[in-house]
Amino acid sequence: MFKKVIHIVFILMLLVGCKTKQGASGAKSQNGNGAKKDKMIKELLIKGATEKVLGNNDEALVYFQNIIELDDKVAVAHFELSEIYEKKRDAAQAVFHAKKAVDFSPENEWYLLNLAETYKKTNQLELAEENYLKLNDQFPGNSSYLFSLAEIYLYQGQLEKSLPLYNEIEVQMGISEELILHKNKIYLELNQIDNAIAEMQKLIDNNPREVRYYGIMAEIYENTGNNELALENYNKILEIEPSNGFVHLSLYEFYKYRGQKDKANEELNLAFNSPKIPVVNKVEILSEFFINSERNEDLKKQAYGLLETTIKVHPSESQGYAVYVDYLDRDGKTEDAIAMLQKAVELDPANFNLTYQFMMLLTVNEKYDMLADESLKAMELYPTQSTFYYFNGIANIQLKEYEKAIESLELGKDLTIDNPDLKGEFCQYLGDANHAIKRFKESDQSYDQALDINPNNVYVLNNYSYYLSLRKEKLTLAESMSYKANQLSPNNATYMDTHGWVLYQAGKYIDAEIWLQKALDNGGTGSGEVLEHYGDALFKLGKKEKALQYWKKAAEKSDASDLIQEKITKQDLIE
């Protein structure tokens, strides 16, 4: 840092020294006052430069402003002020001082360059152009000024004016891939195809073994309808690099858009068999096939062949397996989809989206044993992601491992901060799990928390009210909640059955019969529980023969209570 300060101060001393010889204020007085002022200016320059290098721009600004107050014509002070104001994003002051520096020292290359760049940064492109032209005239041979000037023309949409500048740069620098590709792009935008081709030919002549140049040339010919020359350049790539998979992809597109299906498919197979083409490119093509192959058996068969090739050529890349899952899941091949997605997760365990997709697939397909194991692994890998605790809780509830479920759900609930919907679901399943092991106080508290988060949670309104009815507790609250559930989700046999059973437990048998009949009318005839409840209500109303009929129907179902046979045998209500 110290050496840097000394170096900058030395340059400033040279600049101010030259100025002083001419007279800092333009006068040629060599009296004592002039010498004293020159000394003060030099001291202020040193202090200002030091502070600027140290990053203390506000302090540096004060020193340079003090110089201007002593002598407004000290160009170096204006130059330094321009740079400081540019850093402070004060565009008007940056331009003002940059212009002052040039006014007082018009031959200084750095001041002129600073002014040109300041105009460019403030989008004053015509003024920037004017100053870059001055730079090029006064200091010829510097290609960076030509580049900047060409860039200004491009900003202004004057493509034609930029081309002579790039040609001049090429004369100075020689053949440059970057420069020629840039010129090629401009010629194509101007629809000057012959010139674009000529530029690419320069690169090919300069390096005839570089296959990328032939690829660009082929695309130009293809886009302009010259198919024969396009093929000639694609084939040239294969001569140089017979195993180049990308050219087969290009040829696939070439033949596909010209309706040559067999040739297109041949090239596509060659491309997919190339390990040099990244799996991501193949997945992109397979994603296109996914949409088009849903109702086209030929395309579907071809897609499955490409999928097999992808995982064979890239056995350690998870993306190939992941896209395969989409096809298998779509086509109802559930077991294969699960196995394929499991492989993808094993290959890329840190991929959150893959792991989440795996949990969802297992949940939807009710693979609870596997879900319990895999979600536990995910919890260990992502200990702060509440989602996987949620999956583990659901799995263990289904497996009747309620203690494990409660542990996971409590941990997941505590981890859930900014997602009230998810927190509500943790609470509702905690309610279910605690009820299952007769922790009724904890169950009720969890349901209450869930309803605090979402008072319209139909699942909780139904379950909470039903479990209260089974315990014959808070029946007024249970009736209110079950009624609300039916208002929110009408014509639902389960919710109608719950409300009917709450009314039954409250001794409102006539209303209970009405609601339980509604449940049967809306699909409840397939449920042994609903049929049995209806029979119980009928029995309470003295309709014993009809009650017996419904108990017998309930006994034919798998979900009637353990008391159903005793009810039928004794033809009496057993509670």
30, 340, 344, 347, 377 from 355: Cα distances, Å:
83, 12, 9, 11, 10
In a domain, 358, yes or no: no
Helix/strand/coil for 419: coil
Question: Cα dihedral sign for 552, 556, 559, 565?
Answer: positive
Domain boundary among 87, 105, 123: 105
pLDDT tens sequence for the chain (575 residues): 333 333 344 344 444 444 433 333 333 444 567 788 888 889 999 998 898 889 999 998 998 999 999 999 999 999 999 999 999 999 999 999 999 999 999 999 999 999 999 999 999 999 998 999 999 989 998 899 999 999 999 988 999 999 999 999 898 888 889 999 999 999 999 999 999 999 999 999 999 999 999 999 999 999 999 999 999 999 999 999 988 999 999 999 999 999 999 999 999 999 999 999 999 999 999 999 999 998 899 999 999 999 999 999 999 999 999 999 999 999 999 999 999 999 999 999 999 999 999 999 999 999 999 999 999 999 999 999 999 999 999 999 999 999 999 999 999 999 999 999 999 999 999 999 999 999 999 999 999 999 999 999 999 999 999 999 999 999 999 999 999 999 999 999 999 999 999 999 999 999 999 999 999 999 999 999 999 999 999 999 999 999 999 999 999 999 999 999 999 999 999 98
How many Å apart are CA 557 and CA 529, to the nearest integer?
A: 8
How many Å apart are CA 28 and CA 13, to the nearest integer?
A: 19
In a domain, 541, yes or no: no
In a domain, 414, yes or no: no
- Residue 474 gets which letter from DSSP? S
In a domain, 374, yes or no: no
Q: How far is CA 44 from the centre of its chain?
A: 52
How many Å apart are CA 118 and CA 169, to the nearest integer?
A: 23
In a domain, 19, yes or no: yes
Q: What is the DSSP string of 285-353?
A: HHHHHHHHTTT-HHHHHHHHHHHHHHHHH-TT-HHHHHHHHHHHHHTT-HHHHHHHHHHHHHH-TT-HH
How many Å apart are CA 400 and CA 154, to the nearest integer?
A: 70
Residues 6+ apart with CB under 8 A from 39: none
Domain boundary among 71, 105, 139: 105
Q: Which residue has the tokens 């840190």?
A: 350
Which CATH number characterizes residue 29's domain? 1.25.40.10
Residues 6+ apart with CB under 8 A from 380: none
The token pair at 90 is 């004060």
How many CA atoms lie within 13 Å of 223's alpha carbon, on the beta-carbon side?
12
In a domain, 91, yes or no: yes
Segments forming the whole domain that contains residue 324: 278-332
In a domain, 126, yes or no: no
How many Å apart are CA 289 and CA 277, to the nearest integer?
A: 18
CB 190 within 8 A of CB 162: no
Question: What pTM value is reported for the model?
Answer: 0.71
Domain boundary among 69, 85, 105: 105
How many Å apart are CA 490 and CA 100, to the nearest integer?
A: 80
Number of domains making up the chain: 2
In a domain, 23, yes or no: yes
